Amino acid sequence: MIEKFEEFQKLSKDNADLAAQSFASFQKGAQAIAVEFADYSKKSFEEGSAAFEKLLGAKSLDKAIEVQTTYFKNAYEAFVAQATKLGTLYSDVAKDAYKPYEGVIAKATTFKI
């Protein structure tokens, strides 16, 4: 009986360690995602401000439309690239956070009460 209790304690400790590893991976990934959002937001704001200044300096309607069209095209392309990058980061975070649990099922099937 004591032997089974000790096995159960070891299993509980192992699971707590796995949870800590998973949380550390998740935390690292969440920080990387936050940095990406901050960088993208800063860059987007700077590009928007530059486009607005160009728009104010446009001497004709055609030039204003050209500036606006170029800005929207570049902003859309940057958004799609950033969304793709963030999708990859989210996927990597999920994989890294799950990785410590991959062997748990195999261990759990050998545990007998």
What's the predicted TM-score (pTM) here?
Answer: 0.72
The three-class DSSP label of residue 20 is helix
Count of domains forming the chain: 1
- Going by pLDDT thresholds of 50, 70 and 90, the confidence category of residue 46 is very high
In this prediction, residues 15-38 reach a mean pLDDT of 88
pLDDT tens digits for 20-31? 888 888 899 999
**C-alpha span between 79 and 86 (Å, rounded):** 10
Domain region containing 72: 2-110
| pLDDT for the residue numbered 18 | 81
| pLDDT for the residue numbered 81 | 96
pLDDT tens digits for 60-81? 999 999 999 999 999 999 999 9
